[in-house]
Structure 1
């Protein structure tokens, strides 16, 4: 009788609704990921779903280094690409909290000779509404892609280009604006951008495996980036990270990115007012609203509001989705730009809503 009771209690414990729910989520997410990330001998990706600040799903698929045959680990370091913009935006808001600048300031207050600088505000740069020419669309970019550029050299590279539209007239995703923001961070703080991010964000949050990207430095746990050609995989194109700079040159891990998300939720860096500014929707000159805050797209999944951003840089693609109402964070990092985790991460977030949300949602 005693043995029967023990077996019965074990059955109850291992078959609890929470355990069954977690197993169902894991199986469903595995099925989604393996549709795209199914080459065990090629580069792949790492994925996490966190609920209330803790991982409930975390797995790696594929290789971190094809030459050595090393498998990817959830602890590998990936280039973030444009997810860097989150950190640049928060750095600007930190400086505003300290009274060192204001998002309504014009560029000309800090860069006196910037064309039309008295009409372009920091707010315009943060929200991609400045009209400045995006340097990634300039044909001459190939001339500097592998050169070591100072922030001023980068700004000088695009500042005299004809503007695309009047500031505030439309939303048009723009890397130049975030390079300018990095330059402003240096001018206002008196620190190099990479040093400012490390000291005032990475160190404060405990992101000990996050870096300003480098192909020269030895970075423990680095995942190597790849392209896919008709004949197979090749190593990623080498660029100077001084070119994407504050628009796309940071590196991190799943666990560090969760620390980052938790720090935002808990106002570890930004106060409530600054956090609200980061995650608000704003309006164009004509009064129409657009779905971008400061460093995040403000969207929804099945009418549930989300904060999202992805990234793409040679050899890597990334995507993160946060659902504030349910405190669900989903992130995917890929070490081949042949694999985009954008739709996959959104579908994972929809599954997380279905299995973890307080209100059950249909799959996306």
Structure 2
């Protein structure tokens, strides 16, 4: 492992712990793979707020639409076995569909361009308003006309992936979950994954989902154990963050070990359609979304299940896969996955700490909040751990002496050019003066604030 990566992983772990704490999220698990091997696993918070059960890296989550990449890998594997072609009409395999649905190709279903309904006429299956559709119910809705003209734009459809699950069953002659477990999960060594909650073994640790704090005024626990039935191929998989990262890592074209050929992996990642949205520039291939963040080209997928939000990004150029799993409907997984990319880019650009900078580190506090001193090869950055990109407009310190430095770069409203000094006692650094601002350890500031601002009866406001 390159020195910069080891340094980045250390800061990522501390930064994400802070993010989980200040966000008020129930829990989060992070896994990072490098060259197919897990190099960081970390768990924060709770698996169940009602019971107080602590979250661990071994807890399984509903990873929801990550499942689509598993299903697509299955389709690509069957293609490599010459049991199907991507331009085959789905009606060749599943009968009694609407004529316009039957003419949709497997490629269109994989890329969400068949024009199908997203979640059907009653999407309460994704809000705990009703059970997930069974096979007969799914087929009944697939006898309805597509919602829009096929191949006219990207239009996400869980129904389309449910239909792909039926294709796999028809070709293989066995239930989708049994085939997926044997042909995809077991060969890849995914021992902490199952095609659906109903197939999770007894006693396996499972993280429960949680609601927002509104409208109840607190987070309620959402069991998250409902079977996905005919929608399993779109949203069923239950897994740890580590297994999820391993699976997606092997889909990179430059991965040395994979279940699929390089050609299949390239086809899955190829940007076929732009995703119409303003929040983030993104594209979609065959069950894989892609984009560019923090200067890194990435591919992966996200997931949203009732009570869970998850995100995985693979950076092929660095042979890194990142998975973030959160167990709340308002989970911050997408932002935190991007934050990890920002941190990786900073360390890749500026290098690991040197002998001069490496002890200029730690989290320091004022009344305004925390700042992180993050050492790199030649300079020390003053990062803001509350930001998704902690290095956004970060001041840079040049170390000029054992306990002295100077801010050599800062934003316009910051303290460019001013001095920095550390105060040292027998027990180590007790405080730092950053351009006139006194920063101290959290415990010291906390004690001072409790003295200055004692808890008392507050006046009622009108």
TM-score, normalised by the number of residues in structure 2: 0.66
Q: Distance in 1 between matches of 2:283 and 2:132?
A: 34
- Could you tell me which residue of structure 2 aligns to residue 212 of structure 1? 195
- Could you tell me which residue of structure 1 aligns to residue 157 of structure 2? 174
Does residue 108 of the first structure (1) align with residue 94 of the second (2)?
no
Does residue 331 of the first structure (1) align with residue 323 of the second (2)?
yes
Structure with more strand by fraction: 2
Shift, 1:110, TM fit: 1.2
Q: Which moved more, 1:316-325 or 1:274-283?
A: 274-283
Question: Structure 2: any 5+ residue segments left out of the alignment?
Answer: 275-281, 353-388, 393-462
Aligned length: 340
Aligned 8 A contact 2:60 2:240 in 1: yes
Q: Distance in 2 between matches of 1:31 and 1:267?
A: 31
- Could you tell me which residue of structure 2 aligns to residue 280 of structure 1? 270
Structure with more helix by fraction: 1
Shift, 1:146, TM fit: 4.2
Q: Distance in 1 between matches of 2:308 and 2:128?
A: 20
CA RMSD of aligned residues (A): 3.1
Question: Structure 1: any 5+ residue segments left out of the alignment?
Answer: 1-16, 285-289
Does residue 22 of the first structure (1) align with residue 6 of the second (2)?
yes
2:212 to 228, 246, 259: 228
Q: Which moved more, 1:131-140 or 1:83-92?
A: 131-140
- Could you tell me which residue of structure 2 aligns to residue 11 of structure 1? none
Q: Which has the higher contact order (CA 8 A, sep 6+)?
A: 1
Aligned 8 A contact 1:49 1:352 in 2: no
In the TM superposition, structure 1's runs of 4+ consecutive aligned residues that sit over 6 Å from their partners are: 357-360
Does residue 135 of the first structure (1) align with residue 122 of the second (2)?
no
Shift, 1:356, TM fit: 3.9
Written as runs of structure 1 = structure 2, the 5 A alignment for 1:149-188 is: 149-151=133-135, 153-188=136-171
Matched residue SS, 1:244: helix
Q: Distance in 1 between matches of 2:335 and 2:121?
A: 24
Matched residue SS, 2:321: strand
Larger radius of gyration: 2
Q: 1:130 to 1:38 in 2, by over 3 A?
A: same
- Could you tell me which residue of structure 2 aligns to residue 125 of structure 1? 109
- Could you tell me which residue of structure 2 aligns to residue 257 of structure 1? 244
Q: 1:203 to 1:139 in 2, by over 3 A?
A: closer
Aligned 8 A contact 1:318 1:332 in 2: yes
Aligned 8 A contact 1:33 1:344 in 2: no
Matched residue SS, 1:332: strand
Residues 203-259 of structure 1, C-alpha deviations (whole Å, 9 max, x = no match): 101111101232686251211222133321212166442153111010111221233
Aligned 8 A contact 1:49 1:330 in 2: yes
Does residue 53 of the first structure (1) align with residue 36 of the second (2)?
yes
- Could you tell me which residue of structure 2 aligns to residue 300 of structure 1? 292
